[in-house]
Amino acid sequence: MIVPPYDELFVKYYHASKHTNYSCVEFTAIGAAWLHRLDKYPVISVSMANHDKSWGHTVLEVPNLGTYDFFINVFFPNYYWHERPINDNDLSKMTKAVSWDDNQKLHMIEEYFRYDPEIIKNRSAWTLTNIEVK
């Protein structure tokens, strides 16, 4: 599911080159808010890294939906990053994560999604809990 714009001011002033200093973790937090607005929850932020943390990345997984990587602007339906590296079948189903940005960092798929499971030594996952404020 490609995330549509819900914040017109954000989309109006959005320019991909102005957001190059955001990390994958920051894009994950922003994406979690966007998905919550679409009633897609729980969303699970998943981080994985190697033993010395010289390689690592963070994405969002939505149960029964798939994996979002807002940092590189991709969505993989019915694929869950923490379970295994991506395969060609998963890649054939890939879409953009957001509708308002055609920029994708597809060169990063090889590095972050075709990982060697043997090097992963640090895995963490967490959810954001939303409560109603009165």
Checking DSSP bridges between strand 66-69 and strand 120-127, what pairing results, if any?
unpaired
Q: Mean pLDDT lowest for which of 6-10, 75-79, 113-117? A: 6-10
Q: pLDDT band for 3, please (50, 70, 90 cuts).
A: confident
Torsion 58-66-131-127 (CA) sign? negative
Identify the three-state secondary structure at position 95: strand
**Rounded Cα distance, 97 and 108, in Å:** 15
Q: Which of 41, 119, 62, 53 is nearest to 85 (CA)?
A: 119
Query: How many residues are given for the chain?
Result: 134
pTM for this model (two decimals): 0.87
The pLDDT tens digits of the residues spanning 27-71 come to 898 899 889 888 888 899 999 999 999 999 999 999 999 999 999
pLDDT averaged over every residue in the chain:
88
Q: What average pLDDT score do residues 15-19 get?
A: 61
Cα 89–Cα 126–Cα 14 angle in degrees, nearest 5: 70
Phi, psi of 29 (to 5 degrees): -65, -45
CA 133/CA 126 separation, integer angstroms = 22
Q: How far apart are CA 100 and CA 84, in angstroms?
A: 29
What CA–CA distance (Å, rounded) separates 55 from 112? Answer: 9
The pLDDT of residue 19 is 58
Identity of the residue numbered 88 = D
Average pLDDT value for residue range 99-124: 93
